[in-house]
Amino acid sequence: MLFRDREDAGKKLALKVEQYLKGLSQEERQKEMVVVGLPRGGVPVALEVARKLCCPLEIIVAKKLPFPNQPEYAIGAVSSGGIIVLSPDIPQTRSWRDYIEQQKRELLVTTQRREDEYYVLARRYRSTLEEKVVILVDDGIATGMTALAALEAVKQRGACKVVLAAPVMSKESYKELRPHCDGIIAGYVPEVFNAVGQHYMEFYPTSNEEVVKALAESNNFHNSPLAHEEETRKTGS
């Protein structure tokens, strides 16, 4: 499956999310819903999901903890709120421990500062995730490290149900992340997965300005239509 761009991927993913949510219990359907995007690339995708569901868009910043001198290879991840996840395969030597500690300190500051900046620039407050159904969205999931850190952050913030959604993800990450959330919605899980960008015709880097614009735009969205649908059914209006 090939997506035109992140907007196209978001619109297609939104249809799958909408279908998934129809299978929730009556109690879950009465809960407020929030879409959480992973900056930067996951936010344009999440914006389309939030638009389709007419619910708030929030963000959680998570960054990979890179292998030394190989920035594209993740051996862990850190998310805002102080969540840290590490690969169990990291060598337990002094030099590795020192490297991990240094990276953790830097990333803990960076992730929280960046998240705060996005909200300030968008001139809006964070919505609480407590007792809400959260759809966590990224533009694609390869190793799953940043997604795992974000999932743990969402749970730390009190969400009552956490669903991970992405247009494309590897079979390995699907299997590894499934126990850490209440559900996974994947637009496409290819047999062979090399890189997220290979599944997009256009995969340009998402700018900080686009993230801020999406956060500001989502202020115009109303609450979840599933909750409204439930209320309409009860009142008959």
CA–CA separation, 98 and 120 (whole Å): 34
71-100 pLDDT, tens digit each: 878 899 999 999 999 998 898 899 999 999
Q: For the domain bounded by 6-61+128-235, which CATH number is listed?
A: 3.40.50.2020
Residue 121 has pLDDT above 60, yes or no: yes
Per-position DSSP letters for 44-92, written without gaps between them: HHHHHHHHHHT--EEE--EEEEEETTEEEEEEEEEETTTEEEE-TTS--
pLDDT given for residue 223 in this prediction? 52
Task: State the pTM of this model.
Answer: 0.91
Q: How many CB atoms lie within 10 A of CB 69?
A: 6
CA–CA separation, 191 and 197 (whole Å): 16
pLDDT given for residue 186 in this prediction? 98
User: Do the strands 57-59 and 33-37 form a parallel or antiparallel pair, or are they unpaired?
Assistant: parallel
Q: Which residue has the higher pLDDT, 143 or 12?
A: 12
- Residue 140's closest CA among 28, 37, 27? 37
pLDDT given for residue 45 in this prediction? 99
CA–CA separation, 110 and 93 (whole Å): 26
129-147 pLDDT, tens digit each: 999 999 999 999 999 999 9
Residue 225 has pLDDT above 80, yes or no: no
Domain ranges of the chain: 6-61+128-235
